[in-house]
Amino acid sequence: MKPLASLGIGLLVGLVFTGCSKPPEPTPEKSDKPASSATIPAVSAAKAMGSVAEPSAAAGPADVAWDAPAAWQSAPNPSTMRKATYKIPKAAGDDEDAELTVSSAAGGVDANIKRWETQFGQAKAKVEPRSPNGLKVSVVEIKGTFAGGGMMGGPSTPKNNQMLLGAVVDAGDKQHFFKMVGPEKTVSAARKDFEALVASLRAK
């Protein structure tokens, strides 16, 4: 009887171990497929390969066009930095004409308006945003004593009772400047024509 008992115990132990053991977990299959777009966004992948252009810093036209008032007289440009020069006939009681110059330069809108203020002894400029024909324009007005000293030159001695009407077209990496300076009475009388010029500004 002992051999039979030993055999029974052995079978029982074998069954217990068999019931407790688990089959091994299946090994994940390796895939040759590339990662999905959820893992690597298509735009990021394109940028990494250099196929997506970064946005340009420029935010405006490379050049602009305008309509000059008929009452203004076109004058020779004293510098290649100027694109146009106009003489505005003096008003009754003033000693000289006003002048409007057109130019382009870099440096930013605010910095150039501050430069204009220094030409008037740091007089505070009035600035009004406009958007003629989709352009980004700042219309500037300054009154006081004009001492010049700008990029295009100016009077050698300060002049009292002067006025500036300007328009700055922001093209991002550069600006286009329309700057009228002269006796306050003359510039004030030319405001209507100046406003018409600003309204005519457009990309060229």
pTM, entire model? 0.69
The pLDDT assigned to 156 comes to: 64
The pLDDT assigned to 42 comes to: 43
Q: Are 90 and 186 in contact (CB under 8 A)?
A: yes
Dihedral pair phi/psi, residue 73, rounded to 5°: -100, 125
Report the topology of domain 67-203: Protein Transport Mog1p; Chain A (3.40.1000)
The pLDDT assigned to 61 comes to: 87
Q: In terms of residues, how long is the chain? A: 204
Between CA 109 and CA 60 the distance in angstroms is: 13
Tell me the domain boundaries of the chain.
67-203
Between CA 151 and CA 105 the distance in angstroms is: 10
Per-residue pLDDT of the chain (204 residues), as tens digits, is 444 444 344 443 343 344 444 444 445 444 454 444 343 344 344 444 443 434 444 567 899 999 999 999 999 999 898 999 999 999 999 999 999 999 999 999 999 999 999 999 999 999 999 999 999 999 999 999 999 854 445 556 899 999 999 999 999 999 999 999 999 999 999 999 999 999 999 999
Question: What is the chain's Cα-based Rg?
Answer: 39
